[in-house]
């Protein structure tokens, strides 16, 4: 159990106990799209309100299963950004679809955490009910299909589009995180720039002294040159162009 996963679970349990003692707690904390101007704090507080023990249990169980590794991977601050950002986009999407329907529950935020897990460990096996084996990425796709179908066809009181909004928020948030991370900046710094197609120095690639390269690199260089000969420079992918750019300069 990581620090903020534990704190979020404890806070959700505390709010449920307060609800049991005073029904007015839900009235103050639930999100009502039509009243958001009067109660803007509910965009976040609704995530801590649940319609009974089972609603709380399933959300907190999922957070306990998926949250710790995601928090360790992102760090506490970015994990909280993922959690609350996903819950916020869940509320926004729900508002667009059902502006008159109030919502409660941490499902949108938890769905965002589930996506975060699948984003970083897509092949990790997940056993539903301890029996059905799914890889994490398959679980996300299955849940997306179920929630989309249920949101369109179902007449229950579940905020299915808030769940989907949690996925959407997590996708956007993690794309931003990945593109601005230290690793991404380092890759951008060390990756050679690829010239525009008319400026590709194909002749330099062909003139490279392959004897100066390590045998492994020389073998790969010869493979890419053969492909270049067969399909032309526009048939090479980005990695192959980068490879020729880098190693042709080393072998000059």
Contacts 24+ apart (CB under 8 A), 38-44: 43/88, 43/91, 44/84, 44/87, 44/88
Cα distances (Å, whole numbers) of residue 174 to 89, 179, 189, 228: 14, 8, 21, 36
The CA distance from 237 to 224, in Å, is 10
Give me the active site residues, please: 107, 163
Please state, in angstroms and rounded to a whole number, the distance separating the CA atoms of residues 138 and 229.
Answer: 40
The C-alpha atoms of residue 68 and residue 48 are separated, in whole angstroms, by 19
H or E segment to which residue 127 belongs? strand 125-128
């Amino acid at each position: 159990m990581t620090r903020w996963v534990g704190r979020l679970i404890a806070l959700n349990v505390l709010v449920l106990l307060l609800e049991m003692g005073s029904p007015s707690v839900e009235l103050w904390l639930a999100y009502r799209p039509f009243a958001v101007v009067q109660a803007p704090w509910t965009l976040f507080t609704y995530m801590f309100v649940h319609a009974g023990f089972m609603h709380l249990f399933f959300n907190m169980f999922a957070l306990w299963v998926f949250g710790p590794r995601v928090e360790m991977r992102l760090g506490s601050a970015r994990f909280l950004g993922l959690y609350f950002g996903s819950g916020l986009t869940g509320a926004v999407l729900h508002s667009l679809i059902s502006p008159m329907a109030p919502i409660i529950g941490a499902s949108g935020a938890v769905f965002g955490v589930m996506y975060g897990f699948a984003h970083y460990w897509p092949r990790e096996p997940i056993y539903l009910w301890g029996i059905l084996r799914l890889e994490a990425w398959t679980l996300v796709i299955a849940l997306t299909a179920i929630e989309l179908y249920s949101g369109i066809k179902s007449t229950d009181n579940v905020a299915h589009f808030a769940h989907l909004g949690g996925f959407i928020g997590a996708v956007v948030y993690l794309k931003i995180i990945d593109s601005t991370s230290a690793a991404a900046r380092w890759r951008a710094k060390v990756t050679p720039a690829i010239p525009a197609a008319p400026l590709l120095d194909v002749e330099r690639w062909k003139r490279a002294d392959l004897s100066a390269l390590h045998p492994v690199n020389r073998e790969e260089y010869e493979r890419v040159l053969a492909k270049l000969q067969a399909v032309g420079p526009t048939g090479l992918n980005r990695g192959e162009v980068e490879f020729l750019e880098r190693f042709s300069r080393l072998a000059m």
